[in-house]
Amino acid sequence: MNKITSVAKLSKEFILELFNLTKIVKKDWPELGGSRKTVCLIFWEPSTRTKLSFEHAAKKLGFDVIDFSPSHSSIEKGESLEDTIKTILSLKVDGLIIRHPETGISEKIINMLPESVFFINAGDGNYAHPTQGLLDAFTMHELVDLSKLNITIHGDAKHSRVIPSLIEALKKFECKNIRFLAPKNLCLPNENCKTEIVDGMLSDCDILYVLRIQKERFSKDEDIENDFFAENYQVNKKFIELTKFQGNVMHPGPVNIGIEVTREIVEGRNSLILKQVENGLYLRVALLKLISMS
């Protein structure tokens, strides 16, 4: 197993091995073994947490890192994705970490790669973001038995690439208590989604997983006003008091302070948002160790 496109294709055993290695990395940080492999980061979309943690993780493991910028490459002159990847492979890289706006393109990319080259999907369209889903599941796993977890996903699940990966990870651990809360036009199809915020509705909820409005993936006929969402669905002190929520708050980032959530909540004692970022570093180290040795 050295090509990661989605959580759905991973076994529970692989995820447990990953989680156990993540714990070891977290315990031993920053003293880690070295490697002389070369990995190329190719990000067609902006990224802070994912790109920086992958780069830091790779360098901590002793990888040589090539940071490829599509906007400053021959892609701007008309070179195809396939020819770009062939060129990079000719430079003798051992692995690729790619973010791309096209939904599901990771499944096409792995067919372009030789068996020996490892690959990690760092987010493609709204198809998948496996490492974010896995690091979030790991963060929850540290707190509670995932089979007993009660989680509410709040916000724009419809356009999120993290949510399919997170749900797949949670299902591997028999988590059945997954609920959704959002305006109707942001609800994920075929899921039980509450559209009204009512008294006490989150009193039994362990994790409130907040999502931003992802307008960059809206179709032409979709829209929602930030002011409308902030006024009616924002996670703030009033929201917490009304829903009687007493659990932990998570957010995969980036956070739009003042729209889906207030700074008071983000920086509150029940927030795990920075813990997610930290665990993302450890898990990506662990994942690179696992798949680069395959």
Strands across the sheet containing 38-43: 3-4, 118-124, 95-100, 38-43, 64-68
Nearest-angstrom CA–CA distance, 157 and 188:
6
177 neighbors 217 (Cβ within 8 angstroms)? no
Nearest-angstrom CA–CA distance, 28 and 87:
37
H runs (alpha helix) in 10-102? 12-28, 49-60, 81-90
Q: DSSP for 189-220?
A: TTS-EE-S--TTTTTT-SEEEE----GGG--T
Question: What SS3 class is residue 95?
Answer: strand
Residue by residue, pLDDT tens for the chain (294 residues) are 899 999 999 999 999 999 999 999 999 988 887 778 999 999 999 899 999 999 999 999 999 999 998 888 888 888 899 999 999 999 999 999 999 999 999 999 999 999 999 999 999 999 999 999 999 999 999 999 999 999 999 999 999 999 999 999 999 999 999 999 999 999 988 788 999 999 999 999 999 999 999 999 898 888 899 999 999 999 999 999 999 999 999 999 999 999 999 999 999 999 999 999 999 999 999 999 999 976
Nearest-angstrom CA–CA distance, 140 and 150:
10
The full set of domain ranges for the chain reads: 3-129+277-292, 131-271
Omega into 254 within 30° of 0, i.e. cis?
yes
Q: So what CATH class is 131-271? A: alpha beta
Contacts of 1 (CB under 8 A, 6+ apart): 10, 14, 290, 291, 294
Burial of 266 per CB tally in 10 Å (0-12, 13-18, 19+): middle
38 neighbors 93 (Cβ within 8 angstroms)? yes
| pLDDT value for 294 | 61
Which has the closest alpha carbon to 251: 44, 106, 49? 49
Q: Tell me the CATH architecture of domain 3-129+277-292.
A: 3-Layer(aba) Sandwich (3.40)
| pLDDT value for 173 | 98
